[in-house]
Structure 1
Amino acid sequence: MDTNQYLSVFIDEAREHLQAMNDQLLQLEQSPEDIEIVQIIFRSAHTLKGMSATMGFEDIASLTHEMENVLDLVRNDKLSMSEPIFECLFTGNDALESMVNDIINGGTGSLDVSELIASLNAIVHGDTASAKQEAAAPSADLDEFQYSVLLQTLQAGNQIYHIDVAFRDDCVLKAARSFMVFGILENSGEVVKTTPSVEEIEQEMFDKGFSVYFISDKEASALQNEIMNVSEIESVNVHPLDEEMLQRLHAGSQEAAAAIAEPPAAAEAKAAAVKSQAAGQPAKAKPKPAGAPAASRTIRVDIERLDVLMNLLSELLIDRVRLEQLAREIHRNDLTETVEHMTRVSGDLQNIVLKLRMVQIDTVFNRFPRMIRDIAKSLDKKIDLVITGAETELDRTVIDEIGDPLVHLLRNAVDHGVESRNERLAAGKSEVGTIQLTAFHSGNHVFIEIQDDGQGINRDKVLQTAIRKNVVTQEQADKLADEEVYQLLFASGFSTADQISDISGRGVGLDVVRTKIESLGGQVSVSSNPGQGTKFSVQLPLTLSIIAAMLIRIGEEKYAIPLSSIAETAIVEKSEVRVVHGNPMLNYRGSVIPVIYLDQLLDIPVKSVALSSSMQLIVIQKGDKQAAIVVDEFIGQQEIVLKSLGQYLNNPFAVSGATILGDGQVALILETNALIK
């Protein structure tokens, strides 16, 4: 039997089991005596082993079998959990995830896990010391974020090198020589990753030398010659990386890790040979029993089919609105009753289709506790990650894209937001830092906030860096408010880092974060209190294709405003509007809010000026900010289909899309957040 028909089911279930194992390992680390947690991990590993063996993925089956052996000893009280065991199990889980990702990308799921299996065997036979030593030597040293940065750099046409620097045995001041090497590198490009970490290099906590992943437009030979000019260096190997090599390193390939220590020509020849050999050796596959797929109350549906269903529903809604208008014009009871029934049925159908596309954001959040745990441990920090609102739902297309920006912001919070334990104690804080990851709905948007209780952002330092890098002039800097200063962190290439970090630096790559979020139709902002912490707020649209809106008329044009953005409607006297510093303002319900005349702002043609002494307003809101829009007529509330403006109009101001009305006219949908901003 062909197992390909079960591949998608295997992938989905494997990812679920891996996530469950990861979550339970984190819980077990907090309660190492809880055998019930061990039982849950054991069952997930056992199920994954059986699935993998059936599908012919032998490396996955072998590794899960060895992990199962260790867990079996623990659950039978023959072995106690310890740090080396946790490290081996976490490393094993990472290796399993790499193999499953390889399968997702069309690979065979193969990976050299012999060292890891040896470590697990050592645990089973009681040699936890050697297990710890072997587990400390990972097959690859690139995490998800670093791999993403390097891959984007390669795809942009830039060059990446892996550089190995080895000192002579008689070198006395290795830290000083390392500092000189980094000085050369900083003048030639950007360091993304160091092994060992920068802190360990500064403290001479390494033996022969160190290695770096480096971005530069210089030739490899030129870099090698410059570094070799530093005294007491024995050798320098500058190895260019391509996408295939980078992917193999990220997947944990031992061959790729070994190849970067070879001369480039030899490495390329070896890679070609491996690729050629792999092409002639298809993955083994075993038949899957016919009764394997268990009966279930759920089915997995391709997202493209949901897109087609949504488009068909959108067309149905446009026709429904047209029928409602015709029914009002014809005044036939039987037609009116039929249209009302169609409205109720199509409304229920609409709600179901929209819910089908919504996914809880915990599918993104659930990978962060492990990431925070690993980073905090490497930095010798204690950090609690508090997650709130993980049940918040967001459109699937946004869920798939938001992970990387959140990873970047969280890594910044851990590395440079939260202080070291000694610094926190000296500042009168608890040695345990807190990062709050919160998601919640607000109107037609979802907000994700990342807040730390660290040292905050140094305003003066940001300004000095911005002036030095010609982001702003001194005259402009003197006029900037705090929030405007913090927004400078999102300028392209902006960085305030004092030293190279293998994890992150406050501001490094934040322009990439903003670009990604804005491509999803969202916004990102930052606020900070010195000594108290920093908060990044990400605002994302639900990206619903059908929304409830208020239709209005301004001049001769019709517009739609999402109901989620409207606080209320009102009629006020024109004499109540006052001009403050050239801006029309209105004293409304105890606060002063701006008045927006869209005919002036958007250059809407108006045939005549109304002679009435009063005017109609729509009060819109964004968080705690409000504004009043002057309208000529309220047409009424209606559910509308959100249509993209396509590539012909490039991000018009205050317009998020368009809709087709029942009479065939096109009405633009106003982006009220842009108006308030």
Structure 2
Amino acid sequence: MEKNQYLEMFIDESTEHLQAMNDHLLKLETTPDDFSIINEVFRSAHTLKGMSATMGYEDLASLTHQMENVLDAIRNDKLTASSELLDVVFEAVDDLEAMVNDIAEGGEGKRDVQLVVAKLVKLEKGEGVDEVAATKELEKIDGNEAHVYDDFELTVLTQSKEQGFYAYQLDISLREDVILKAARVFMVFEVLEQVGEVIKSTPTVDQLEEENFDLTFSVTIVTKETEQDVHARVMKVSEIDQINITTINTDEQKYVQENSSNNEEKNTEKDKETSSTEVNNDKQVHEEKVTPSANKTIRVNIERLDSLMNLFEELVIDRGRLEQISKDLKSSELTETVEHMSRISGDLQNIILNMRMVPVEQVFNRFPRMVRGLAKDLNKKVNLDIIGAETELDRTVIDEIGDPLVHLLRNSMDHGVETPENRLKIGKPEESNITLKAYHSGNHVFIEVSDDGAGINREKVLQKAVSSGVVSEENGTSLTDKQVYELLFSSGLSTADEISDVSGRGVGLDVVKNKIESLGGNVSVNSTPNEGTIFSIQLPLTLSIISVMLVEVQAEIYAVPLSSIIETAIIKKEDIMAAHNQKVIDFRGSVVPLLNLTDFFDVPTTKEEDEYLSIVIVRKGEKMAALVVNSFIGQQEIVLKSLGKYLTNAFAISGATILGNGQVALIIDCNALIK
């Protein structure tokens, strides 16, 4: 079989099966007696095992097979799907994901999974979860994996034990300031050969001699000396930092080695059965008939969609050019044809944009596992509620929002919600709720991360902002609560060396803000003490084709994104006032700063100012500004083009576009202007 021919399909389908396993395992944790969920997990594992074996990824197939045995024991009522047991299964899924990622990056999916295999084997044998957690002979110590022994080595270890010898694994760490690593290793081996016989080393002796290792290595020996004696003698070698000695359980090693082959034989017949029929002890037979639905979808490489989008962007530019020509020639037939072409290209634009739209579920899917793990680490009880996962965003935006959402969720987990004990003290349920919500509104998608935790402490934030120089003490007292909360997004507000509500709230939030604004969106925060906090992200549906207002600034043309515009207006010169050395106007009861784009962009003056000024009112969050222009040209859909790597520092310019007459117009970044 030509592996490369099916590789992309294998990676896509494997990723889907792993995500399905994650989702169903999380559901299984809350409803451990639901056999339909167990069957779904088993089916995904079974399919993944078959695909991996067919493609020749034996390590992947072997681990999936071992996990399948545990799942089979759960559905046959031999094991209970407790949270602790599922911790081990999740660990196996993490390893499977790492192996699939390695294959996606061009590797062979190899990974040392002896530790998790040993745990799965113990679970299948019916040993308690506590015993599994206490497994020492295969634990990672100082970054070293436990040894994997072949038949000969295992025979030597077994026979040595029968003759009264001890078998030890020594995990040895050298000091960071060690000068000659290979020399120290040689001295260690010399000492060990005086007390017993070296059976195996990791890395190999050749690698150790070539210093092809970090600061740690492992050695297996058989000896009649005690652990304490071996430890004392090896520690006499200078520049050794630490030694961990583990007694090797040869019975366990044999079981791990033999179990895989035995189970493969046992399951040959089992694999022939369809996974839609599930038999449970003392329970009725569960039968599920899966009727294949007609497949109405095909997989398309995203690069092809990108190419299609680039071609269409060129078409939009030519469409604008034709519209300009038809206006100049005033030909009714040409105008009619161009109008028809515009309608058709508009429909084509909607279809292409919809093809690129991806449900935010693709990003949201990874968060339940993250929240579960973090809640265990923080000793908190947290329920994550996901709403609107079917909401769609352009693929380019989807690729970028994962990290900001991770920041916000970790922030809510770590510093938003309280510990169960503290929640009970103030009359709240011990389990806190974090909600991740997405919804459409106009040409934007909103994503909210909210919690029912302690809220933000205004005084702590203000105190920290003043001490960090973000705001003056005088100005701080006049700020509203919401304005104080917005200070959390300021760069340099928090320091990592002081662990407090404020430090946690500030770390990374300026990074979140910068990332969201680079996507043409904005982020805001609101909070109610003792009730919780809401972070709200506003994002454009797409980044490549946007609606703008074209304006003239002297002899040049600029584009202002419609998403930033509140309205346009004409004002008299006499309406301009001054406040704090800044020109301002009164706009519907609000004082709005006035910015003359001729001066700001240093455009050569070709037109004299008259009594009336044309202004564009733009907004970023609750802040506004009035941009003075010479005239309005009108609304138009334009293609957003990057300025390239040589003009990355052009302030307040987010890109450029080509107009119908071939002229280049710069696109104004209103967020940067207001900031």
Q: What is the TM-score of this pair, normalised by structure 1?
A: 0.70
Candidates 460, 472, 486, aligned match of 2:488: 486
Q: Which amino acid aligns with 1:494?
A: T
Specify the SS of the correspondent of 1:384.
strand
Cα distance per residue 1:617-651 (max 9 Å; x no partner):
43333345444434332212211111111233233
Contact kept in structure 2, 1:317 and 1:641, CA below 8 Å: yes
Map 1:281-430 → 2, pairs under 5 A: 296-430=295-429
Alignment CA distance shift 1:600-1:101 (3 Å) = same
Alignment of 1:38-117 (within 5 A): 38-117=38-117
1:221 aligns with 2:177: yes
| Shift in Å, 1:515 | 6.1
CA separation of 1:137/1:486 partners in 2, compared to 1, >3 Å: closer, same or farther? farther
How much has 1:384 moved relative to structure 2? 1.9
Secondary structure class of the residue paired with 2:646 = coil
Contact 2:466–2:472 (Cα < 8 Å) also in 1: no
Aligned to 1:661: 659
Q: Does structure 2 retain, via aligned residues, the 8 Å contact 1:640–1:659? A: yes
Q: 2:525 & 2:580 partners in 1: Cα distance?
A: 28
* Equivalent position SS for 2:437: strand
Q: Could you say if the C-alpha distance between residues 518 and 639 of structure 1 is closer, same or farther in structure 2, counting changes exceeding 3 Å?
A: closer
**Residues 380-435 of structure 1: CA deviation (Å, up to 9, x unaligned):** 21112232343333332332343234323322321233222222233443322222
Give me the whole-angstrom Cα distance separating, in 2, the residues matched to 1:82 and 1:118. Answer: 18
Output the CA distance in 2 between the equivalents of 1:14 and 1:410.
27
1:201 — aligned with what?
none
Q: Does 1:128 align with 2:128?
A: yes
Structure 1 residues 15-53: Cα deviation after superposition (integer angstroms, max 9, x where no partner): 111111111111111111212212221211111111111
Give how far 1:579 is off. Answer: 4.0
2:464 and 2:494 in contact (8 A); partners too: no
Unmatched 5+ stretches in structure 1: 142-160, 164-209, 213-218, 224-254, 272-293
1:391 partner SS: coil
Q: Give the stretch that moved more between structures: 14-23 or 63-72.
A: 63-72
Residue 632 (structure 2) pairs with residue 643 (structure 1)? no
Deviation of residue 512 (structure 1)?
5.5
Q: CA deviation at 1:533?
A: 4.2
Distance between the aligned counterparts of 1:485 and 1:264, measured in 2? Answer: 54
Cα displacement (A) at 1:343: 1.3
Q: What SS class does the counterpart of residue 495 from structure 2 fall into? A: coil
Matches of 1:580 and 1:314 in 2, distance apart? 44
- Give the partner amino acid of 1:486: L
2:234 maps to none
In structure 2, the CA distance between the partners of 1:222 and 1:467, relative to structure 1 (3 Å rule), is farther
In 2, Cα distance between the equivalents of 1:312 and 1:398?
20
- Counterpart contact for 2:464–2:493, Cα < 8 Å: no
Contact 1:20 1:41 in 2 (8 A): yes
Contact 2:524 2:621 in 1 (8 A): no
Higher CA-based Rg: 2
SS at match of 1:429: coil
Contact 1:444 1:565 survives alignment (8 Å) = no
Match of 1:472 in 2: 469
Shift of 1:486: 2.3
Give 2:431's aligned residue.
432
In the alignment, the residues of structure 1 paired with residue 65 and residue 373 of structure 2 have an alpha-carbon distance, to the nearest angstrom, of: 25
8 Å contact kept, 2:489–2:510: no
Number of matched residues?
546
**1:622-637 counterparts in 2 under 5 A?**
622-637=620-635
Amino acid at match of 1:65: H
Contact 2:551 2:631 in 1 (8 A): yes
Q: In 2, distance between residues paired with 1:539 and 1:435? A: 19
Q: Which letter maps to 1:387? A: I
Q: Distance in 2 between matches of 1:463 and 1:211?
A: 50
Q: State the match for 2:154 in structure 1.
A: none
Letter in 1 for 2:298: I
1:473-622 matches, within 5 Å, as 476=472, 479-480=475-476, 482-483=484-485, 485-488=487-490, 490-491=491-492, 494-498=495-499, 505-508=504-507, 513=512, 531-538=530-537, 540=539, 542=541, 544-589=543-588, 591-612=590-611, 614-622=612-620
**Is the alpha carbon distance of 1:268 and 1:601 closer, same or farther for their aligned partners in structure 2, counting shifts above 3 Å?**
closer
Change (3 A) 1:589 1:498: closer
Deviation at 1:211, TM superposition (A): 13
**Distance in 2 of aligned mates of 1:337 and 1:325:** 13
For the residue of structure 2 that corresponds to 1:433, the secondary structure is strand
Letter in 2 for 1:472: G
CA separation of 1:130 and 1:576: change in aligned 2, threshold 3 A: closer
Specify whether residues 138 and 452 from structure 1 end up closer, same or farther in structure 2 by C-alpha distance, changes over 3 A only.
farther
- The worse-fitting range, judged by mean Cα deviation, of 33-42 and 120-129 is 120-129
Q: Cα 1:138–1:348, aligned 2, differ >3 Å: closer, same or farther?
A: farther
Q: Is the 8 A contact 1:119 1:134 kept in 2?
A: no
Q: In structure 2, what is the equivalent of residue 36 of structure 1?
A: 36
Q: Distance in 2 between matches of 1:673 and 1:94?
A: 40
Distance 2:614 2:545 in 1: 26
Q: Distance in 1 between matches of 2:652 and 2:103?
A: 44
Question: Compared with structure 1, are the counterparts of its residues 520 and 657 closer, same or farther at alpha carbon in structure 2 (3 Å cutoff)?
Answer: same
Aligned-partner residue type, residue 621 of structure 1: R
* CA RMSD, Structure 1 to Structure 2 (Å): 4.2
1:309 and 1:526 map into 2 onto residues whose CA distance is: 38
Q: Which moved more, 1:537-546 or 1:340-349?
A: 537-546
Instruction: Please report how far the alpha carbon of residue 583 of structure 1 lies from its aligned counterpart in structure 2 after TM superposition.
Output: 4.2
- Measured in 2, the distance between the counterparts of 1:16 and 1:578 equals 61
Identity fraction in percent: 54
Distance 1:140 1:418 in 2: 33
Give the 3-state SS of the residue equivalent to 1:267 in structure 2: coil
How far apart are 1:132 and its partner, in Å? 3.8
Whole-Å separation in 1 of the counterparts to 2:350 and 2:650: 30
- Gaps of at least 5 residues in structure 2 are 145-170, 180-200, 218-292
| Alignment check: 8 A CA contact 1:123 1:131 kept | no
Aligned partner letter, 2:296: R
